[in-house]
Structure 1
Amino acid sequence: MRRRDFLTLASIGVPLGSALPFSPAAAAGPDKGNVIGLLAREQDKVDEGAAQLKGFVVRLNWDAAQPAEGGAISKAACDQLTGAVAFAREQGYSRLKLRLVAGQSAPGWAKAIGGTALDWDNDGEPLTVPRWWTGAYLDAYRDFVLRLRDHLDDPMWCEVTVSATCTVFAEPCIHELDSQANRTTLLKLEYTTQDEMDALKRAIAIHEELLSPYGVSSSIAYNPLQTIVVSPDGATNSLVNDTGRTIELMDHQRTAMGDFGVWENNSLIAADVDGTLEQTRPAYRTMYAHMRAGAAAGHPIQFQTATLAKIREAKGSVYHTALWAARNGGISVELPVGWEGDRLHGPVIDAALADQLNTAFAENA
Structure 2
Amino acid sequence: MNRRGFLTVAAGVPLAAAGVVTSPAFAAAAPTVSTATPAADPAFGTATPAADPTFGTAAGAASGAAPMRGRVTGLLVRDPVLVRDASAARLRGFVQPLTWAEAQPEPGGDLSSPALAKLQAAADLARQRGYSRLKLRLLAGWQSPGWALALGGGPMCKWEDPDAVEPDLYDVPVWWAEDFLAAYSAFLPGLAAALEDEPLWGEVTVSGTCTVFAEPCVKQLGVAANRKQALDRGYTAAADRAALETVIAVHHDTFSPMGITSSVAYNPWQFIAASGRMETDPAVTVQLMDYQRTTMGAFGVWENNSLIARRTGGVLEQTRPDYQGMYDHMISGAAAGHPIQFQTGTLAKIQAAGGTAEATASWVAEHGGISVELPRGWEQDTDAIGVNRADQLNRQLAVNAAATLS
| Alignment check: 8 A CA contact 1:114 1:136 kept | yes
| Alignment check: 8 A CA contact 2:174 2:233 kept | no
In structure 2, distance between residues paired with 1:312 and 1:4:
38
Report the residue type matching 2:100 in the other structure: W
In structure 2, distance between residues paired with 1:334 and 1:203:
24
Aligned Cα root-mean-square deviation (Å):
1.5
Corresponding residue SS for 1:210:
helix
Corresponding residue SS for 1:299:
coil
Q: Shift in Å at residue 30 of structure 1?
A: 3.6
Corresponding residue SS for 1:357:
helix
After TM superposition, the structure 1 = structure 2 runs for residues 12-161 of structure 1, keeping only pairs within 5 Å, are: 29-47=66-84, 48-119=86-157, 120-123=159-162, 124-153=167-196, 154-161=198-205
1:175-223 Cα offsets, whole Å, 9 max, x none, are: 1111111011111122111111100000011111110010000000000
Is 2:209 the counterpart of 1:165?
yes
| Alignment check: 8 A CA contact 1:218 1:262 kept | yes
- Could you say which residue in structure 1 is the equivalent of 2:235? 191
- Could you say which residue in structure 2 is the equivalent of 1:225? 269
| Alignment check: 8 A CA contact 1:3 1:213 kept | no
Report the residue type matching 1:74 in the other structure: S
Q: Shift in Å at residue 4 of structure 1?
A: 6.5
1:157-188 Cα offsets, whole Å, 9 max, x none, are: 00000000000110000011111110111111
Corresponding residue SS for 1:201:
helix
- Could you say which residue in structure 2 is the equivalent of 1:206? 250
| Alignment check: 8 A CA contact 1:302 1:332 kept | yes
Inter-CA distance 360–192: structure 2 relative to 1 (3 Å threshold): same
Q: Larger % of helix: which?
A: 1
1:22-42 Cα offsets, whole Å, 9 max, x none, are: 7xxxx5x44101101000111
Report the residue type matching 1:362 in the other structure: A
Report the residue type matching 2:194 in the other structure: H
Report the residue type matching 2:284 in the other structure: R
Inter-CA distance 337–258: structure 2 relative to 1 (3 Å threshold): same
In structure 2, distance between residues paired with 1:79 and 1:277:
42
- Could you say which residue in structure 1 is the equivalent of 2:397? 361
Q: Shift in Å at residue 64 of structure 1?
A: 0.5
If the length of structure 2 is used for normalisation, what is the TM-score?
Answer: 0.81
Corresponding residue SS for 2:363:
helix
**How many residues of Structure 1 are paired with residues of Structure 2 in the alignment?**
339
In structure 1, distance between residues paired with 2:221 and 2:131:
38
Task: State which of 321, 326, 341 in structure 2 corresponds to 1:287.
Answer: 326
Report the residue type matching 1:252 in the other structure: Y
Inter-CA distance 296–5: structure 2 relative to 1 (3 Å threshold): closer
- Could you say which residue in structure 1 is the equivalent of 2:386? 350
Indicate the percent of aligned positions where both proteins have the same amino acid. 51
1:63-112 Cα offsets, whole Å, 9 max, x none, are: 00000000010000000001100011000101000000000000000001
1:346-365 Cα offsets, whole Å, 9 max, x none, are: x2100000001001101111
**Which aligned runs of 4 or more in structure 1 are off by greater than 6 angstroms?**
1-4
Q: Shift in Å at residue 5 of structure 1?
A: 5.7
Unpaired stretches in structure 2, ≥5 consecutive residues: 1-30, 32-56, 402-406
Report the residue type matching 2:387 in the other structure: A
In structure 2, distance between residues paired with 1:245 and 1:141:
24
1:219-278 Cα offsets, whole Å, 9 max, x none, are: 0000001111233xxxxx322111011001000000000010000000100001122110
Inter-CA distance 6–105: structure 2 relative to 1 (3 Å threshold): closer
| Alignment check: 8 A CA contact 2:61 2:298 kept | no
If the length of structure 1 is used for normalisation, what is the TM-score?
Answer: 0.90
Q: Using CA pairs below 8 Å that are at least 6 residues apart, which structure has the higher relative contact order? A: 2
1:144-168 Cα offsets, whole Å, 9 max, x none, are: 1111111112110000000000001
136-145 vs 244-253, greater mean Cα deviation: 136-145
Inter-CA distance 6–221: structure 2 relative to 1 (3 Å threshold): closer
